A and B are shown apart, each in its own frame.
Chain A
Amino acid sequence: MTAIARAWDNLTVTGKILVPLLFLVLVVAPVATVLIALFVGPWVVDVLASNLGIVRFVVAITGVLVFTIPTAFVIIYMEMKVIARMNLRIGPDRVGPYGSLMSVVHGLKFLSKEDFTPTGADVPVFTLAPVVVFLATVMTFLVVPFGPGLVAQDLNIGLLYLFAIGGMNVVGLLMAGWASFNKYSLLGGLRAAAQAVSYEIPLTLSVVGLVLLAGTLSVYQIGAAQAGWFTDWFVFRQPLGALIFLIAGTAEANRSPLDMTEADQEIVAGFATEYSGMRFAFFFFAEYVNVFVMSALIVTLFFGAWNAPFPFPDVAPALDPGSLGIGLVLLLAAAPVALTLLFAAPFYLARSSTPAWQALLLGFITFSVVAVGGLLGAAYLGLDWFAGLAWFMVKTFVFVFVFVWMRGTFPRVRIDQLMGFAWKWLLPASLLNLFVTAAAILVVEALNKAG
């Protein structure tokens, strides 16, 4: 019996499946890739190049889907930590540095839980509901511009698409509420429907004034129209619209204090009462992705999208790396070593008891921090999209924090107060906003013609 055969016998069933797979991935896949690239590569490149729109769409969809999970993880961790601080607690601090891997453990927990379907449930609808909710939320990412040029699809009816797809969210909640065969779920689903019907209207009407000002429905164009100083942001021309959008957006994202659909003190967990495992995780992720989308929309529509609050002086990197030739290679090889030694020297000289290897390690860490900082700085100065992305993320997370803050401080409103507020205050206010904006535009145009 050879050694390989003996090792094979020692493997468990799982091992017998995993080891060949590992072999496939490590050996066969690279070889196949090289072969494909050699023989059918030119043809594939031709096909892709002639269908650039489709390629862009597929890449964008993949990117968006991949992007949602870390976003949700970060926001969940942020919420746990921020609310803990507001409650004078510490929050998660066991898994990873400062508990930062808590969300990952949450995800693993959901994966390992029983996927339970209650007796009497409408199984197909029950299964489909989380998918609908998750997809409806994720698909809104498609028109959100993360930076100049960083938009998956610049639809010319972007805003319309946003509200249409965002509204589908509620269909999923209603499906979940109905199919769970649970009265709490049913109440939660019906609340979701009532709330969505009431708050979609002021939400949509509050941006019509903005659309009149920008003259376009494309989210990307609206973002681009706010370039320049921060006074050009639409929040200063549409303050009422921004406020209505924030409130209606809170209701639309089902966030406290307007989280009627899952008011745990009243209806246990609303539509999600009977969900467990990965199906619940879809709802869970959808909620936090929704928070991100709402914050991103507020930033894009009212707070200058990716634009910095002030026009940044256009400092192109003074040195063009390409012109250095062989010098660049030498620089890349020599700079790390030289800088590591340079940064290590003070650690070594300051305390004679520091061993040389420790000083070198500290020097290397310092060099890494400086190098990453330098690269990011260079990227910020040299790359438009990077600067835009940085500003967009910073602004968006400010609003994510606002959502978390509201959850930590406010009690929940009652369902009739919620509906009354939408119809008696938000709707007239948004109509007033629209009327005043339209009138102002007419007056300004008339003045321009006369003058």
Chain B
Amino acid sequence: MTTTTPPQHPSADDPRILLDDQIGAFEAVPPYPPRTEREAEFYSLGDGEMFLNMGPQHPSTHGVLRVVLKIDGERVVDLDPVLGYLHRGVEKLCETSDFHHIISQLDPLEYISSLFMEWAPVMAFEQLLDVQVPRRAEYIRVLTGELNRVASHALFQGWMALDLGGLTPILYSFIERDEIVEMLAAITGQRMLFNYFRIGGVNGDLNHEFMSRLGDWMSRASVQNQANTDLLNDNEIFVRRMRGIGRLDRETALRMGTTGPNIRAAGVPFDIRRAHPYSVYPELEFDIPTRGHDGGGDSLDRYLLRIDEVKQSLRIIDQCLHNMPDGPVMAGLPRLLRPRPGRAWAAVEAPRGLFGTYVISDGTDQPFRMKIHDPSFVNLQLVGLLMKGNLIADTMAVMASLDPVMGGIDK
């Protein structure tokens, strides 16, 4: 009897790699044979090319993203993003949590804009349970959500500058974000993972501290926003590094399923708040800013668009405060929820695009299946298209302008 031993490939854990071929241990090439044609093509080097392993620990990869760059001198020939360093198995966790717990499971997905991660599942569960959310609760959701959007975009502005080598704007951004999260902490009790929205309303009404902080901030928000913006927009170095880099045209944006500011910067006025209205957005007045020229948008357009969006968010916050109705903030619901068997899809316009959840319920107190659609994951697919042929330094500019958050990508 002959036994054929499977071909032995050295694994990354094999200590012999270090003993036999020390140089080999430093290569970015995976220690297994190529699994796809694409991998075979990528991991074969042409003349004068080399791999540069950027991440998962690198000063500017926004978390634990690893990108293997194939470079020719300073020019990026090709690249291969490697995901999964932050994988928590959130979708599976949701299947073993009851409906109340799921809200807190989803919070850390996009940890910069947690309220939107609560909003989508809460809306989906409400559809399954046929709950009518009180109007005051809906207004509070919009108010806090838009505040969170401003905080997220403020942080984006700072990271963008930091990735281009400017040290100062990030700290100014954090001041603005800090004011907002402190404000939200006054009603939610947390600064980062708020866990505030509930099925059928929100956890707790607006309080005095929140209102006084909000009034304080609103009185100078637009001025402060303008000051932070002037610091960068009038800077010749900053503009020259962004203009024309990472150009995304309309067709590609639509084909790749891009959402959020990235597609609006390419000239497509697609916003869930208007395209598929939810909550009380139909009652509010705001514009959907678009940027872009010649049927596409570059990094500078994506950057400027987010600043436009902050202005619209401030408008929405202002209207929410003026139109805020009286009433309860929670619908009466039993503690143990057993929705009808069925399916529900709900999507919100998160700061990075369409964040949606698809829930299948089998009538128990836990969902049978929960699919999470994360905007960062879809937007990250663009890096391969946008970065090819650019310089290494542009890689940072493009990646920062797409604004991915690794918590949501790796789920």
Contact = CB atoms under 8 A, between A and B. Distances in A.
A263 B23 contact: no
Nearest to B397: A414
A221 to B, nearest CB: 38
A177 B303 CA distance: 34
Contacts of A256: 165
A183 B27 CA distance: 10
Interface stretch (B168-176, B205-213, B334-342): B168-176
B241 interface: yes
Interface residues of B, number: 33
Interface stretch (B97-105, B107-115, B388-396): B388-396
A413 B237 contact: yes
A88 B172 contact: yes
B90 interface: no
Given A87-B172, A412-B165, 5 more contacts: A83-B168, A88-B172, A183-B50, A266-B60, A415-B391
Interface stretch (B135-143, B156-164, B218-226, B249-257): B156-164
Contacts of B52: 183-184, 187
B392 A411 contact: no
B391 A87 contact: no
Contacts of A88: 171-172, 175
Interface string B214-249: 000000000000000000000101101100000000
B26 interface: yes
A267 B163 CA distance: 12
Contact of B171 (A89, A267, A412): A89
Interface string A251-269: 0000011010001111110
A400 B204 CA distance: 54
B253 to A, nearest CB: 25
Contact of B391 (A257, A410, A414): A414
A247 B166 CA distance: 18
Contact of A413 (B59, B163, B167, B241): B241
Nearest to A269: B59
B47 interface: no
A368 interface: no
A12 interface: no
| Top-8 shortest CB links A-B | A412-B165, A411-B166, A411-B164, A265-B60, A87-B171, A411-B165, A414-B393, A266-B393
Most buried by B among A86, A256, A413, A416: A413
Interface in A72-130: 83, 86-89, 119-120
Contacts of B3: none
A187 B392 contact: yes
Interface in A223-274: 256-257, 259, 263-268
Contacts of B396: 265-266
24 contacts: A83-B168, A87-B167, A87-B171, A88-B172, A183-B52, A256-B165, A257-B165, A259-B165, A265-B59, A265-B165, A265-B393, A266-B392, A266-B393, A266-B395, A268-B59, A410-B235, A411-B161, A411-B165, A411-B166, A411-B241, A414-B240, A414-B393, A414-B394, A415-B74
A409 B168 contact: yes
A118 B235 CA distance: 40
B274 interface: no
A111 to B, nearest CB: 26
B167 A408 contact: yes
B4 interface: no
A323 interface: no
Contacts of A448: none
B273 to A, nearest CB: 33
A168 B370 CA distance: 63
B2 interface: no
Interface residues of A, number: 31
A2 interface: no
Nearest to B28: A183
B5 interface: no
A265 B164 contact: yes
B161 A267 contact: no
Nearest to A417: B240
B237 A411 contact: yes
Contacts of B392: 187, 266-267
A410 B166 contact: yes
Interface string B273-309: 0000000000000000000000000000000000000
Given A187-B74, A411-B166, A120 B237 contact: no
Contacts of B60: 265-266
Contacts of B23: 120
A75 to B, nearest CB: 17
A408 B168 contact: yes
B36 interface: no
B8 interface: no
Contacts of B58: 268
A48 B50 CA distance: 59
A412 B164 CA distance: 6
Contacts of A265: 59-60, 162-165, 393, 396
Contacts of A410: 165-166, 235, 237
Nearest to A259: B165
A414 B241 contact: yes
Contacts of B238: 411
Contacts of A412: 164-166, 237, 393
B260 to A, nearest CB: 24
Interface string B337-362: 00000000000000000000000000
Interface in B39-79: 50-53, 58-60, 74
A415 B165 CA distance: 13
A422 to B, nearest CB: 15
A407 B168 CA distance: 9
Most buried by A among B172, B237, B241: B237
A259 B394 CA distance: 16
Interface in A411-430: 411-417
Given A410-B237, A415-B391, A415-B393, A263 B165 contact: yes
A263 B392 CA distance: 11
Contact of B22 (A120, A414, A416): A120
Nearest to B160: A411
Interface in A398-451: 407-417
